[in-house]
Chains A and B, each alone.
Chain A
Amino acid sequence: MRPPQKNFALKLTTLIVVTACFVVIGASLLVSKNFRNILTLWGEDVQMTVYLSSDLSEQGRQDIEQYLKDSGQVSDVQLVSQEKALSDFRVQLASYAPDISKDEELLKLIPASLQVKLASNIPASEQSKVLQNLASGLKAKQGVDDVGYGQDWVEKYAAFVSAIEITLQVVGIVIVLASMFVMSNAIRASVQAHRDEIVVLEMIGATTSMIRKPFLKEGALLGVVSSTLAVGLCYGLYVGLKSLVVQRLSFLQLGEHLTFISPVSVVIVIIGGTAMGALGSYLCVRKINDGWAASQRA
């Protein structure tokens, strides 16, 4: 007759708890990444308009364009000539205020401009500062009448992004620490179940490495299996949420911007999980591998 398999139930429980911890870590990575995607998407609307003097020469305009390109913070510069600006203005106002669109004197006041798009690699939280610097540099240039970039909106957006970034980082650290605590307790309980085995092995002359090796292997196996399962579960979660956003929340137009964590992050989660499992087991075994004293307490 075999004794009851208490260890199997304990191993299963440990696997479930550790997998749940990795799911929480993976899900927070996923939420954090997609939140950043959405913020970046909103940030792509940030543009700067450089109003040019009516007497600016072609060479002067090219110098300003070159200045913007040389800054390395700009992805695109489009000239909106006075004629184009006039024509757009007429189209926009024709139905609202037809009289104004016919006022030739007023229309002469509309200047040519450069529409500037920021480079996509500039973090959302940095956009306000970059725009401020560019604007102050441009204002000092001859031939620039004014620079506008919706300062209020950009500054509020940047503050919002910064707050979200800090929140995500704090929540992320709390989740990782809490998960590590839960995980280490689960591994400790599993290793404690082998306490008698450790005492006996030590007593009959097993070396420290002989005692620790099986626990390290078991911890690493627990780490790799649970982190892989967690990545799979997170992927399922991602597919489900994406389909919900695409089908039920299509008006948000966010579906195509939702992405899964990168392959590099997946590899890091699995390798990190394996290392955490092995390290957790190692620390627990080291604590209870104290021989006769342990046997006396048992």
Chain B
Amino acid sequence: MIEFSHVYKTYPGPVHALKNIDLKIDKGEFVFLTGPSGAGKTTLFKMISAYDVATSGGVNVAGYDLAEIKDGQIPFYRRKIGVIFQDFKLLKDRTIFENVALPLQIRGDKTPAIQRRVYEVLEQVGLAHKHDQYPEFVSGGEQQRTAIARAIIHQPGVLIADEPTGNLDPRLSEEIMDLLERVCSQGTTVFVATHDHEMVKRRRKRTLELKEGMIVGDTK
């Protein structure tokens, strides 16, 4: 589902952000990405979400060759993946329902189908009763669950999460990880970047360790 082969990324300076990355993540796999700040985690995620391109090497995600992808195809590729941020990135002037519905509206789905699917996903993340609330008036954990609902509503093949529990306390972090595992169990490939080594140990999932732009550990 996600495949990097001999990927290098160099920024002007030169700064070697990624060096000879080789990795393969299968469909339905749950993988953690760890490493200190500046190790290259965000660069790797930027490539997966087509916000950056490799200097050399091949990147293939959900059947798209991201080294060759044309600008006009990128939005359609992004509709096949889901992205979760540490700071949730919810629209404050829209309700939880409206935030979650966005990907389906972008895709051009009909209103009844959107309503049906939004309530289904809100049930899944335990937020159906808060559908008409605004993000500012719910807890951090609920905001992150809203972001997850938005990221999975269109049933993406790949879900990437950049420090999804970075702003949450340990109890809420566990809740979010449980939720991501449930999403994974339904066949979505989940790739999570985190600094929380304790949680990674507890979850006993495949873990990639990135250091100075290189993969220095893979528990597969």
Contacts and interface: CB of A to CB of B under 8 A. Distances in A.
Contact of A205 (B76, B91, B92): B76
B83 interface: yes
A287 interface: no
Nearest to A291: B51
Interface of A: 1-3, 7, 196-197, 199-208, 210, 291-293, 295-296, 298
A298 B79 CA distance: 23
A296 B43 CA distance: 11
Given A3-B92, A3-B93, A207-B75, A292 B46 contact: yes
Contacts of A210: 75, 106
Interface in B119-175: 133-134, 136-137, 150
Given A3-B136, A292-B52, A204 B91 contact: no
A204 B103 contact: yes
Contacts, number: 59
9 contacts: A2-B134, A196-B91, A197-B91, A201-B102, A203-B78, A204-B83, A204-B150, A205-B79, A206-B106
Contact of A295 (B72, B89, B133, B136): B89
A183 B6 CA distance: 49
A205 B103 contact: yes
Contacts of A196: 89, 91-92
A207 B95 CA distance: 23
A69 to B, nearest CB: 68
A204 B51 contact: no
Contacts of B46: 292
A205 B82 CA distance: 10
Contacts of A199: 89
Contacts of B91: 196-197, 200
B49 interface: yes
Interface of B: 42, 46, 49, 51-52, 72, 75-79, 83, 85, 87, 89-93, 102-103, 106-107, 133-134, 136-137, 150
Given A204-B83, A295-B85, 6 more contacts: A7-B93, A202-B75, A204-B78, A205-B76, A206-B106, A210-B106
Nearest to B153: A204
B134 A296 contact: no
Contacts of A202: 75, 78
Given A204-B79, A204-B150, A295-B89, A3 B51 contact: no
A293 B42 CA distance: 10
Contacts of A296: 42
Contacts of B78: 202-205
Nearest to B151: A204
A33 B28 CA distance: 73
Contacts of A207: 72, 75
A295 B77 CA distance: 19
A2 B76 CA distance: 33
Given A197-B91, A293-B51, A205 B85 contact: no
B31 to A, nearest CB: 20
Among the interface residues A7, A201, A205, which one has the most CB atoms of the partner chain B within 10 A?
A: A205
Contacts of A295: 85, 89
A54 to B, nearest CB: 88
Contacts of B42: 296
A293 to B, nearest CB: 7
A89 B77 CA distance: 96
Which 8 pairs, one residue from A and one from B, show the smallest C-beta to C-beta distance?
Answer: A292-B51, A205-B79, A205-B78, A204-B103, A207-B75, A205-B75, A206-B106, A291-B51
Instruction: Tell which of B46, B49, B77, B102 has the most Cβ of chain A within 10 Å.
Output: B102
B89 A1 contact: no
Given A203-B78, A292-B51, A295-B85, A1 B134 contact: yes
A104 B202 CA distance: 130
Contacts of A2: 134
A293 B85 CA distance: 13
A196 B77 CA distance: 21
A208 B76 CA distance: 11
Nearest to A209: B75
A278 B114 CA distance: 31
A207 B89 CA distance: 18
